[in-house]
Structure 1
Amino acid sequence: MTFSIVGYDPTTGDLGVAVASKFLAVGSVVSWAQAEAGAIATQSYANMSFGPNGLALLAQGQSAEATLDQLLAADEGREQRQVGVVDAQGNAATWTGNACHGWAGGRIGAGYAAQGNILTGADVVDAMATAFEQTQGELAERLLAALLAGDQAGGDQRGRQSAALYVARKGGAYGGVLDRYIDLRVDDHQNPVPELGRLLGLHRFYLTPPKTDDLLLIDAELAREIQTMLQHFGYYQGELSGDYDAVTHAALQAYGGVENLEERLVSATHIDRQVLNYLREHFVR
């Protein structure tokens, strides 16, 4: 009772799943991904064991198709299942059992598999595939674009309730330890897919490190402005010298720690444009 897409990005190695459904907390059931292994969407009377068991097979070097074949061969309820799999080489496979509720079906392409059941029609999956193929940017944005396209094409014929986006990247998690790069869920909402897009925007601000082009050199004028704002917020007690010294830097780091901006404070000589805008907006208020 769901539509989903699994995808792979050959540039970054990202692997992920985007899913939406008239089902409470659909991401807690459908979405499975592991860096350098693959991604799996298991739905339609979902056999959740397909997630960990399938990722184990993919991590051993099995292809998406071979993994799917092994999962289905061991499942007596296979004709009720729907599954999408993509491996770390971009090979994709999808399965829709004969007992899935209509409209049900899937489509594969380079680096992705899109599928759904109890949909308004085949155009939902077609729209997802087209959006994924035509959207530029990171895998998360491409998966979200596909989900939005499927939602706008009609989505789940029963209505809307939840959506989720999960992307695995080696060392991509907060703190750089695990592979949980993006893990966002809208568990119960009247319009969950657009809400998921809003959350991804927040994730990009708070939890995605800035690119080099986003960093501004802190000259004397900018240093004085930063000191003024940090003094106003109570983090800097020194002179407004225009010297971005260790004390000023420490004050900015302290402010960022409280405001959850630490992932964007990556330089001792530069400041991220978005952090600077955040400071200015809150200073004005």
Structure 2
Amino acid sequence: MTFSLVARCPDGRRYGVAVASRFLAAGALVPAAEVEVGALATQAHVNLAYRPQGLTMLRTGVAAADVVAGLVAADPDRAHRQLGVVAASGAGATWTGPSCHPWAGGQAGDGWAAQGNILVGPQVIDAMRETWLGGDALPFPDRLLAALRAGDRAGGDRRGRQSAGLLVVERGGGYDGSDVLVDLRVDDHPDPVTELRRLLAVHTLLFSRPDPATLLDLTGAVAAEVGALLAALGHPVDPARPEEALFAWAGLENLEERLVPGRIDPVVLEHLRRAAPHVPAPRPAADQLGADA
């Protein structure tokens, strides 16, 4: 019913699962991940017990292949199961029971495992593998999603499309310092992987931390422009508390994760400009003098 990729990032800080299926809310059933421990996907005839049991084994340092072997050995319905696992180090591992509906199979390598059943053919897994291996320049959630999208474009689930999900964990990397960096689901949609891509872009805008190298000092022309934009949106700036209006507006826009005292993230500034596009940016005083001469 499903194709998925389970992976960890090269430095071991992030683990994740990307999944798609012609099945309602596959993202609610298939993935599990724990920071600094590992991740897994249970699919075909899903065994939900694999998720806590697998993470418990990974937590004790069991290798991915041994986790797979242990879970399926204890399962009388293993012939109908499909499973992918990555641990904190080493190669990933995958299992496809002989009774899974064709086409069914999987591949695994260092830090990743891709698997699927009821697929149009093995080209789905091939496409996921090639895109994953070639995507190391992408941010980890985007790399997972790119591999999922490649599998979808290669034909995916031979019955069609319905749902998709993306789960990524990182120590303290999520909202308000949680370990859940990304947890997005498209439960019922005619093009769920494309919709998941849209949701990830929104998530990145709202919840990614700003890049310190790109931050702008909230002074001079930047402060003047921000003040004019905020005033146009009904948030006049008090000179005694210049950040108060910015923080109030950003909170309403759900951008609080991108706020930095005394500075402004260019992503926030661009969002502010789009919200009040009729306000021109103030020109530096030297330019104004030149224009008046």
TM range (shorter): over 0.9
SS in 2 for 1:280: helix
CA deviation profile, 1:118-141 (whole Å, cap 9, x unmatched): 000000000000000001222211
Question: Which residue of structure 2 aligns with residue 71 of structure 1?
Answer: 71
Question: Which residue of structure 2 aligns with residue 243 of structure 1?
Answer: none
CA drift of 1:12 comes to 5.4
SS in 1 for 2:28: helix
* 2:241 pairs with 1:247: yes
* 2:260 pairs with 1:259: no
User: TM-score scaled to structure 2, two decimals?
Assistant: 0.92
* 2:43 pairs with 1:43: yes
Question: Which residue of structure 1 aligns with residue 34 of structure 2?
Answer: 34
- Report the residue type matching 1:204 in the other structure: T
SS in 2 for 1:23: coil
Question: Which residue of structure 2 aligns with residue 164 of structure 1?
Answer: 165
2:175–2:181 contact (8 Å) kept in structure 1: yes
Unaligned runs of 5+ in 2: 279-293
Query: What CA distance in whole angstroms lies between the structure 1 residues aligned with 2:266 and 2:40?
Result: 36
- With over 3 angstroms needed to count, the CA separation of the structure-2 counterparts of 1:134 and 1:155, relative to structure 1, is same
1:129–1:146 contact (8 Å) kept in structure 2: yes
2:12–2:88 contact (8 Å) kept in structure 1: no
* 2:262 pairs with 1:269: yes
SS in 1 for 2:147: helix
SS in 2 for 1:118: coil
CA drift of 1:90 comes to 4.2
User: TM-score scaled to structure 1, two decimals?
Assistant: 0.94
2:12–2:36 contact (8 Å) kept in structure 1: no
2:131–2:146 contact (8 Å) kept in structure 1: yes
1:2–1:20 contact (8 Å) kept in structure 2: yes
CA deviation profile, 1:46-87 (whole Å, cap 9, x unmatched): 101101110111011111111111111110000110000001
* 2:211 pairs with 1:193: no
Unaligned runs of 5+ in 1: 240-245
Question: Which residue of structure 1 aligns with residue 13 of structure 2?
Answer: 13
SS in 2 for 1:224: helix
Question: Which residue of structure 1 aligns with residue 284 of structure 2?
Answer: none
- With over 3 angstroms needed to count, the CA separation of the structure-2 counterparts of 1:12 and 1:75, relative to structure 1, is closer
CA deviation profile, 1:113-166 (whole Å, cap 9, x unmatched): 000000000000000000000012222111101100000000000000000000
User: How many residues are aligned here?
Assistant: 277
CA drift of 1:224 comes to 0.9
Question: Counterparts in 2 of 1:164-243, with a 5 A limit?
Answer: 164-176=165-177, 178-238=178-238
CA drift of 1:108 comes to 0.6
SS in 2 for 1:175: helix
Query: What CA distance in whole angstroms lies between the structure 2 residues aligned with 1:10 and 1:98?
Result: 32
- With over 3 angstroms needed to count, the CA separation of the structure-2 counterparts of 1:12 and 1:94, relative to structure 1, is closer
2:12–2:89 contact (8 Å) kept in structure 1: no
1:8–1:90 contact (8 Å) kept in structure 2: no
CA drift of 1:109 comes to 1.4
2:2–2:118 contact (8 Å) kept in structure 1: yes
2:84–2:114 contact (8 Å) kept in structure 1: yes
1:13–1:88 contact (8 Å) kept in structure 2: no
Question: Counterparts in 2 of 1:25-174, with a 5 A limit?
Answer: 25-135=25-135, 136-174=137-175
1:14–1:35 contact (8 Å) kept in structure 2: yes
- With over 3 angstroms needed to count, the CA separation of the structure-2 counterparts of 1:229 and 1:251, relative to structure 1, is same
